[in-house]
Amino acid sequence: MTTLFEKGALGDIAVKNRIFMAPLTRNRAHPDGTPHEMAIKYYKQRASAGLIVAEATQISPEGKGYVNTPGIYNEKHVEAWRKVTDSVHETGGKIVLQLWHVGRISHTSLQPNGGQPLAPSDIRASADTFTESGVEMASTPRALLTDEIGQIVDQYAHAAKLAISAGFDGVEVHAANGYLLNQFIATNTNHRDDQYGGNVANRARFLLEVVDAVSAEIGAGKTGVRLSPTGTFNDVHDEQVEENYTYIYSELSKRRIAFLHVAEKFPGIAVPDAGLDLLAQLRNEFDGAYIANGDYGRESATESVKAGAFAVAFGRPFIANPDLPERLELGLPLADVNEDRLYGGDETGYSDYLRFEDNERQIAGVTQ
C-alpha cells in the first residue's frame, strides 16, 4: 500500500515522496515580475518536498492581478527563475511552475497602459485585489474577442517553453480559484455566444486548447492542471459543476497529462458534504496522477494516499515548516504560520522559518 513517503513518478517527473508543496502567492517579486533574490533561499529550504509547485506566475503583462507577483514571459524572468530551480535541484528537489492569467481579478492600475482586465464576459467580480494603494475591488473587465483567445493560448505555450528553459521540471496550468480559465468554465462568469460559451464543451474549449498547446510545446508528461470544481473563491458560482467537470476530467484523462491537482477546500470556506462527495465521484473520471489539496494533516493525507491519491499538496504548513516531510514522517510538532507576513515584505515570515532541529538548538541556546 502506497504511503506518503514513497517515491513515484508523475509523467516524466520522478519524485522522492508524496508530500508536495502547493503554489503559494507571496507578493515578493520585483515590480517588473522578476522573481526576487529571496526566492532562491525560500524554495531551496523546501526542496525536501516530493514536488514544489512554485507560486502562480503570470504568462503576460495582461495576466497580472496583484502587486509584486512574478512573471514568465521574458528572458529576465527566465534568468532569475533559473537561479531558483538550480538551488532546488542542487538540494535534490523537483519544481514545476504554475502558469497564471488572472482574467477579471485585476485592477486597471496593474494593467498595461491602465487598460481593463480581460475576461470571458464584461461582468465585474465581487472580489478584491492588491495594488500599490492597498486592497481595491477588481475593475470592470472587457470581454475578449474571439481571435484574442488564440493569442492567449500562444502565450501559455510560450510561457511553458520559457519555464523549461529556466530549469523547471514541468508546469501546472492554473485553471482554478476564479481566474481566467476558470472564468470560462463557470456559468456565472461566461455569458458568451461564440464557440467559447454556451454548452459544456464550448466553455471547456479554452482550457483544453491551452493544455494541448502547452503539451505540444513541452510534452504532456511535463504538463499538469489545477482545478477547483466546487470552489467559489473570487466570485465564481457554477450551476453546472457536475456536467462541466465530468467532461473536463474525462478530456484531461485522454490527454495523458502528468497530473491533475485539485483544490478540494479553501481556508475559511466551508465545503458541504455534497461537494466533497462530488469531488470523490469526479476522481473516477480521471485516469492519472491525482494530487489532493485542501486542509490536510498527517492522518488525513495518509488516508488520501491510501485511497488512491498520488500525493497531497500542503500550503500554509509548508510556509512555516520548511522541513515538513521530515516533521510528518517523524511525528514532530508543526510550527504555526505568521498570518501577518503572508503577503509582501522582506524575509520575515518568508525565509526565516527554521527546520525543527535548528529551532530546538536556538531554543536551547536561549535557555542556556
Active site residues: 179
- The continuous run of DSSP H or E covering 147 comes out as helix 146-165
Q: How far is CA 232 from CA 144, 148, 275, in A?
A: 22, 26, 12
Residues 6+ apart with CB under 8 A from 34: 70, 71, 76, 77, 80
- The DSSP output letter for 62 is G
CB neighbourhood size of 114 (10 A): 10
Round to whole Å and give the CA distance between 287 and 260. 10
**What's the CA gap between 332 and 354, in Å, rounded?**
13
Which residues is 173 bridged to in the sheet?
A: 99, 225
E strands along the chain, which residues? 8-10, 13-15, 19-21, 52-58, 95-100, 118-119, 128-131, 134-137, 142-143, 171-174, 223-227, 259-263, 290-293, 311-314
| Total count of residues recorded for the chain | 368
Retrieve residue 108's grid coordinates: 486597471
